[in-house]
A and B are shown apart, each in its own frame.
Chain A
Amino acid sequence: MKRFVAVLSLVFCLIKPSFGKIYVDIRSPGVTKVGIALRFQGEKFPTIETVLKKDLLAYGMFRIYPVSLTGFTNEDLRLIGVELLADMKIESANGRLILTLNLIDTGEGKQLVSKLFEGSENAALLIAHKVADTIYSVVTGENGMFTYPAVAVRKVAGGYELCMLDVGARLYKRVLFSNRPIQSPVLSPDGGRIAFSLMRRGDFDIYVLNVKTAKYKKVCGTSGPDTAPFWSPDGKFLVFSGYVGDNPELFLCDVKTGKIKRITRSIGIETSPSFSPDGKRIVFVSNRAGRPNIYIMDIETGRTVRISSGYYDVSPEWSPKGDAIVYSSVVEGNYLLKLYYIDSGLSEVVGVGEDPTWSPNGNYILFKRLGGLFLKSIYGSDELKIFSGRWENPFWR
C-alpha cells in the first residue's frame, strides 16, 4: 500500500484546501447530511466512480446526487439540495491516469479545492480513496482514512486467513493462510509489516510478515503462548503478552534483535496492550483485581492506573488522537463498545460489538459482531456492515 502511495504522491495541490468553513461538525449528534453531487467528465473509469461513492457513503455524512448532465447552474443544484459539487475530469494516456477534482460550494459559488491526482491505471482504487479523503477533509477539517489499509483474521473452513482490508471499497486480500490459529495482526506504523501471533507446534509466538514479499518469520517469544502484539509508534518495538512460568506478563520486544524485556509484574493475566500515540504509555487488560479490566501504565515509571471497573472489560486500543481509549465491555451478556476519555475520566457507550479498532483519523471504529465487521462514527449512530463472515481482531492504522 505504502508503495502505491509513494507512486501516487504526484499529487499537485493547485489551490490550498480552504478550511475556513466547516460544513459538518462531526461531533454534533444527529448531524444533517451534506448534499454532494458527483460529476464525472472525460474518460469512464467505473472503479473510480463506484469506490468514490462507497467511500463517501461509508463516511456516513454525505447524501450523494449523481449528476450526469451538464448545464445545471450552481443555483439549480443548490435548489435540489446539492451543497457541494465535486466536478471531476478523468484522462488517461500511456498507462497513466489523471483525475482533476474541483470541489465547489454551490451556495457561494466558491471553489473549495482543486487537486490533481495521478497514478498508474491500476491505481484507480487508490485515486478514488484519495478523492474521497480530500472531500471529507475539506468538509470536516479532519483527516481522511480510506487510503489506509486495515488487517484482520478471517476464519474459514479448515483454517485462518490473515487478510489486508480495503475498508472503503469493502475488499480484502488474503496474505497468509494457516490451518493453525492466527491471531491479532497489527500493521506497522509505516504500513510495510504485519506483526501477528501464530500457533506452531502447540505454541503461539510473535511473527512479522513483510507486506511486499509476504515472507514472515518469528521475531520474539517466551516459554508460553505469546499473543496480542502491538507496534510502538516508531516501529522499532512490539509490546506483547508472554509468559514468566505459567503467568502472563507484558514484554517489549526489539524487532531487530528479538531481545525481550518484561514490563509488568503481577499474579494475574496481562494481555492486549496498545501504545499511546506518543509511545510513553500503554493501555492493557489485567485481571489482577479479580476481573478483566482496563489499565494504563507509564512505561518509564511503571505507574499503573485502573480505568475501568466493569464485569468484563477487554480489547482496549488507544485513539490515534491520544485523547480516548476504546474497549469492549460485557454488560449483562451484551457486548458494548465503550469510550474512555483520558482527561475527564468519563466513559460512554458508543455501540454494540467487540474487538474495536480505531480508524486512522480517530473518528470511526471498525469492530466485529456476530455476522461480520462493522464501521461506525464514534459521534453518530449509523453503522455500516463492511464484511460478512467470521472475522477476528481487526486493526486499522
Chain B
Amino acid sequence: MERGKFVRLFVILSLLVFVMACAKSQVKQQQAAKPSGVPEHVKEKEEVAVTTPQEAKSVMEKELESRVPAECEVRHFPMIHFAFDSYELNDEAKRILTEIAEYMKKCPGVILLIEGHCDERGSNEYNLALGWKRANEAKKFLVSLGVDPDRITTISYGEEKPLCYEHNEACWAKNRRDEFVFCVGKCFGK
C-alpha cells in the first residue's frame, strides 16, 4: 500500500520535472527567438534533448532509493494557523508540530524550512516581524521536542505571499500561517 503511494508520487514528481524542463526550455527559446529569429527546426532539436518522463522517473527512483528509506522521503504536512496579531501556537498547531518532530527525529537526513506568513492587515514592517515570530515559535516547539535546531531554517514573508486575495476574515485566516517545506540532503543553505 505504502509502496503504491510512492510510485504514484514518483510518477507525479517526474511528470512535474518533465513539464518544468519543457517550460524552461520553451521560455529560453522564446527569449532566444526574439532577437536572433531562430528557425523552427532548431527549436524542435532543443526539445528532443529533454529527458523523457520514463528516464526522469528511473533516475529519481534510483537516487532516492540509494539515499533514504521510504518512510523518510519528503512528506507533506498541513500548515498551521494563527489568530490576528498572534504567534501563539494553538492545539491543532501543536499536534501537527508533534507529528513533524516525530518524523524529523526518525529521519535525520530530513531538514525543514518554516515560512511565516501574515494577513494583509497592519503595516508590512510589523507583519514581517510577526511572520518571523510565527516561524520561530514553531521552530522553538520542535526544538523543545528534541529536534536539532540546525536542521530548521526559518523565513518570514510577512504579508507578501498571501494564499487568498479577498479582503475578508475567511481569507485572512487562511493567510495567517506557517508553511513547512521539507527537503532531503543539502538545501535551504544548510
Contact = CB atoms under 8 A, between A and B. Distances in A.
A314 interface: yes
B132 A225 contact: yes
Contacts of B171: none
A201 B189 CA distance: 9
Given A181-B160, A328-B123, A330-B122, A269 B130 contact: yes
A203 interface: yes
B128 A225 contact: yes
B117 to A, nearest CB: 12
Nearest to A355: B123
A19 B150 CA distance: 67
B125 interface: yes
Interface string B59-84: 00000000000000000000000000
B156 A272 contact: no
A181 B122 CA distance: 17
In terms of DSSP, what is the predominant structure of the interface of chain B?
A: mixed
The winner among A203, A269, A392 for most chain B CB atoms within 10 A is A269
A393 B85 CA distance: 20
A243 B155 CA distance: 13
Contacts of B123: 271-272, 285, 314-315, 328, 354-355
Interface string B150-190: 00011111101000000100000000000000000000110
Contact of A203 (B121, B155, B160, B167): B155
Interface string B118-143: 00011111101110110010011000
Contacts of A243: 132
Given A203-B155, A246-B133, A312-B85, A393 B189 contact: no
A269 B189 contact: no
B125 A228 contact: yes
Interface residues of B, number: 25
A308 interface: no
A204 interface: yes
A291 B85 contact: yes
Nearest to A153: B124
Given A181-B160, A203-B155, A291-B85, A272 B133 contact: no
Interface in A368-394: 370, 392-393
B157 A271 contact: no
B124 A392 contact: yes
Interface in A248-288: 248, 269-272, 285, 287
Interface string A107-141: 00000000000000000000000000000000000
Contact of B129 (A184, A269, A330): A269
A271 B85 contact: no
Contacts of B128: 183, 204, 225, 227, 271
A271 B133 CA distance: 13
A290 B21 CA distance: 49
Contacts of B153: 202
Nearest to B120: A370
B153 to A, nearest CB: 8
A271 B129 contact: yes
Given A181-B158, A184-B125, 6 more contacts: A224-B156, A225-B129, A269-B129, A269-B133, A272-B125, A314-B123
Interface of B: 85, 121-126, 128-130, 132-133, 136, 139-140, 153-158, 160, 167, 188-189
Q: Nearest 5 CB-CB pairs, A to B? A: A246-B136, A314-B123, A269-B129, A228-B125, A248-B129
